[in-house]
Structures are given as structure tokens and as C-alpha cells.
Amino acid sequence: MLQRTSADATRRVYVPSHQECNRTAAIGKRVGFLNPVTIYGLCVKLRGLNTDTPDPVVEAGMIRQIRRLGAVFSAIWMITVLIPWVLRGDPSPSPEVLGQQLAGEIRQQRPTEASTNSATLRLREKSGRRTSVPVQIETQLTETGWRLRYTAAGEKSGGISEAVIVQTFGAAPSYEIRNQSGSVQKVGLGQANLSLAGSDFWVSDLALEFLHWPQQRVLRQEVSSAQMCHVLESTHPTPGTNGYSRVISWVDTKFLAILNAEAFDHTGKLAKRFSTGSFRKFIRTDGQEAWFLQDVKIANRSRNSVTELNFEVPEK
């Protein structure tokens, strides 16, 4: 710290040192409210390095203001930047939060009109035997949600012949299962791991039941089927011996459509691999354009078989 005495003043005036000027300028730079060069220039001027000789009284007032800058700007920085940052913590949502949000958005997708479509299950077994089973898919809208009825006809290789997936707004799906004897049984979540017409498609697969599991997590984003996708991991906390323990799905970031998926059994081994085929554009009855999925395929690693579900694209 240096001191100087004016010729027409009897009191001594505090003058900041170079180190104090540098410190004040650094504070100004950190906070960003004042140009640090301007602050340092004021300090230098008060030290008498400028050709102008400041009046002692004016000089003392300016010095007091400059000495307060550090404390004032530091307080402002703490209030506006530091304290909110500490209280807010990491602003990035966790993978679990993102997973719950993504699964919820997919679950909210719903049909807008009733419809009846035709499809064909094409099964290729390990032995090379091929089976084709016609399937009718009926969509019914209700006041509380919608119902999807899958009815298999013709030749079958076991499994169930008819299943109704009951979707209620804000709830997990339930099922009405009709076996080949004609009896109907109502079952809930985790009880519809049943083959449709002997194919590799479980009724729970068609309902996307894994999206209702409590543990959902977004792992990353990557390209799949030439589209940018969210990679969603769905984990079952208590999988049974006849169910999946984990499903990893690749969800299109734009349309939230599941393009591919891998399902793992209760031991953690890959059991099934799902993949969507091509899409076709058609004109709906109201004149609007729409895209229709033409086929979905499952490769079953457990029994070394493949099933394709081919949809008939409606003309209108």
C-alpha cells in the first residue's frame, strides 16, 4: 500500500497498490458487470501514474467506491450465480427420469378410430417347416380406452386362437384370452406370455407390456434402421421363469415408434429380437395421408425360429 500527500491538503489519502488494482480488475472480469480495464485504469489514475493530479477529496471518494466494488460484485455473483447453482444442483435429468418420460409418451399413443385389418403370421420353425396363419385385428374405441382383438384362423401349431388386449387410460393392459377349446379367461399384467397361434409372438409382446414395468432408463441415443433413436432399457424387478427380465428398445426420436428391440430371459440371455420392416403411405377415409407398418419380425433365439407378422395395407 502506498500513500501520497497533496500540496493543498493536510490529510493523508489511501492509494491502492498494483496488486489491489489487479485483484479488483480480476473480480470485475469474473463477474462481468464492469470492464476490468476500466477498473484498473481508475486504480492507476488514483495512484498518480496518470498525468492528471486528482483532488484529494475527490480521490478519497473514488477510492472508497473502488474498494467497495470487490465486495459488491462478489456478493452479486454469489446471489445470482453461486447460490442458485448450489441449490439447483445438476440440472440434467437422470436416465431413470428420462426413461419414465419416454415410456409414458409411448404409452399415451392411441388409435383415433375404430378399424378392422387383416394380417398373416408366417412361422418358420427350426426344422424348416413353414406355417401361415391368417389373423384379423379389430380395434374398438371405448369411453375408458380401447380394445385390440387378435383372432387367428386356419392352421395352427398350438397356442391361443383369440386374445383381446384391454387398454385403459393411465393403466396397465389387461387381457381376455380364448384358448382353442373356446373358453375365455381374464388375466392381468405378467400373465399373458402366451403364444398367439403357436407363433413367436406373445400376447404381451403385442401389448408392449414392458413399457408398463416400473424400471425404465434411457441409456443413450444412436442410429438404428437409419433413424436416430433413444435406447430405452426396461427392467422387470421380479421376472418369472416364463418371462423377460429386461427389454432394450430403439425408439425413433421423431415419431416415438419402436423400430427394434431385444428381450432377455430370466437368466439374462438374449431370448428374442424384434425388428420392424417397411412402412407404406396410404390415404385414409378422411382424405389424410398416413403411414402403415407392413411387417414385424421376431427371431426367437430360444427355439431357433422366426415369425413374421405381415399386415395388409388398407387402400383407404
Q: Specify the CATH number for the domain of residue 291.
A: 2.50.20.10
**Reduced DSSP (H G I as helix, E B as strand, rest coil) percent helix, strand, coil of the chain, to 5:** 25, 40, 35
Statement to judge: residues 82 and 206 lie in one domain: no
pLDDT in tens, 195-239: 999 999 999 999 999 999 999 999 999 999 889 999 999 999 998
224 and 251 share one domain: yes
DSSP state of 266: T
Q: What percent of the chain has pLDDT over 70?
A: 65
Last residue of some domain: 64, 88, 112? 88
**What SS3 class is residue 56?**
helix
Cα 210 to Cα 234: distance, rounded to the nearest angstrom: 6
CB 123 within 8 A of CB 199: yes
Domain housing 10: 2-88
State CA 78 to chain mean position distance. Answer: 33
Both 218 and 75 in a single domain?
no
pLDDT at 315 over 90: no
273 pLDDT band, cuts 50/70/90, is: very high
Q: Is 24:33 a contact under the CB 8 Å cutoff? A: no
Residue 288 within a domain: yes
Residue 165 in domain: no
Query: Does residue 141 fall inside a structural domain?
Result: no
Kindly tell me the number of DSSP H helices and DSSP E strands found in the chain. 6, 17
6-39 tens-digit pLDDT: 444 444 444 555 555 555 545 444 434 444 444 4
Contacts of residue 99, Cβ cutoff 8 Å, sequence gap at least 6: 215, 216, 217, 218, 232, 233, 234
User: Can you list the alpha helix ranges (DSSP code H) found in the chain?
Assistant: 18-31, 36-46, 56-77, 83-88, 95-107, 203-206
Considering only 40-44, 56-60, 172-176, which range has the smallest mean pLDDT? 40-44
Domain assignment present for residue 160? The answer is no
Average pLDDT, rounded, for the chain:
79
Placement of cell 474498494 in the chain: 67
pLDDT at 142: 94
The owner of cell 393411465 is 170
Res 8: pLDDT: 43
Does 168 reside within a domain? no
**Residue 27: predicted pLDDT:** 44
pLDDT of residue 3: 42
Per-residue confidence band for 193, with pLDDT thresholds at 50, 70 and 90: very high
Claim to verify: residue 22 and residue 114 sit in the same structural domain: no
Is 49 within a domain? yes
Domain count within the chain = 2
Please check whether residues 271 and 211 belong to one and the same domain: yes
122 and 56 together in one domain: no
pTM tops 0.75, yes or no: no
Q: Is residue 250 domain-shared with residue 122, that is, in the same domain? A: yes
Q: Mean pLDDT lowest for which of 56-70, 246-260, 293-307?
A: 56-70
Query: Does one domain contain both 206 and 123?
Result: yes
